[in-house]
């Protein structure tokens, strides 16, 4: 049987304490630990900022497309009901313009455009080019609607007979209006799909612009 003398035991305790102090003071491996903690957070922040940027860019492009189309149609007296592009007033030219305006988003692959011409029930609807405007409140009525040929099946108009114009829109006897609706299917987590397969699905972004025709006449749609 080995007997440990107090002196040997004290030396062992002192050595153990010294070893513990060295371990506590040592910074070996701390860089690796910090890297493991910080890098994933930095990547997450970068991806998050990228996702926010992609969303804001898509919304901005959609707003720009709807506004520019409405402004252009407001200066047009009539459109030609054809998907050809031989004339600037062809509906086909309008659809092509929408795809160009919405770049870099592919509006003709994941979006839609609907144009609605609105006339006044008792005046501009019955006599589009020969009527007198008054200050009497008018009754808006949908004259015609046209949709891009590549619109998705779920992209239906929100301009209905019971919801044509906003309640705050001043619409008088003889007035007319043009409504442009633009849709786009947006995937909010496209960059993180590989890391987050169960992320929420796509959503449909929607913009709607109202404008008055510069000619004070309802926008006509003639046969092509």
What are the tens digits of pLDDT across the range 151-164? 988 899 999 999 99
Q: What is the mean pLDDT of residues 207-221?
A: 92
DSSP letters spanning the chain: -----HHHHHHHHHHHHHHHHHHHH--TTHHHHHHHHHHHHHHHHHHHHHHHHHHHHHHHHHHHHHHHHHHHHHT-SEEEE-S--SSTTBHHHHHHHHHHHTTTS-HHHHEEEEEEEEEETTTTTT-TTS----SSBP-EEEEEEEE-TT--TT---S-BTTBSS-TTS--BTT--EEEEEEEEEE-TTSTTTTT-TT----EEEEEEEEE--TTSSPPEEEE-
pTM for the whole structure: 0.77
Q: Is 113 exposed, middle or buried (0-12, 13-18, 19+ CB in 10 A)?
A: buried
How high is the mean pLDDT of the chain?
83
Q: Sign of the CA dihedral 92, 106, 74, 160?
A: positive
Question: Dihedral angle at the C-alpha atoms of 116, 127, 77, 89, nearest 10 degrees?
Answer: 70
Encode pLDDT of 35-81 as tens digits. Answer: 777 877 887 788 778 778 888 899 999 999 999 999 999 999 899 99
pLDDT of residue 6 exceeding 60? no
Higher pLDDT, 7 or 102: 102
Encode pLDDT of 25-35 as tens digits. Answer: 655 656 566 67
């Amino acid at each position: 049987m080995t007997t440990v003398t107090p002196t040997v035991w004290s030396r062992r305790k002192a050595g153990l304490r010294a070893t513990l102090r060295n371990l506590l003071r040592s910074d070996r491996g701390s860089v690796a630990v910090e890297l493991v903690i910080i890098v994933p957070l930095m990547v997450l922040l970068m991806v998050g900022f990228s996702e926010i940027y992609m969303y804001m860019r898509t919304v901005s492009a959609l707003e720009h497309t709807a506004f520019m189309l409405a402004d252009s149609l407001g200066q047009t007296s009539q459109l030609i009901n054809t998907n050809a592009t031989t004339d600037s007033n062809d509906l086909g030219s309008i659809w092509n313009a929408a795809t160009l305006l919405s770049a870099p988003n592919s509006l003709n692959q994941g979006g839609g455009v609907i144009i609605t011409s609105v006339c006044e029930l008792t005046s501009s609807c019955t006599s589009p080019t020969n009527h007198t405007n008054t200050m009497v409140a008018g009754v808006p009525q949908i004259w015609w609607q046209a949709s891009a040929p590549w619109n998705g099946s779920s992209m239906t108009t929100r301009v209905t007979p019971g919801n044509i114009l906003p309640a705050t829109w001043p619409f008088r006897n003889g007035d007319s209006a043009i409504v442009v609706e633009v849709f786009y299917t947006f995937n909010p987590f496209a960059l993180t799909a590989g890391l987050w397969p169960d992320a929420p699905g796509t959503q449909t972004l929607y913009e709607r612009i109202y404008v008055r025709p510069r000619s004070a006449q309802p926008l006509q749609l003639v046969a092509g």
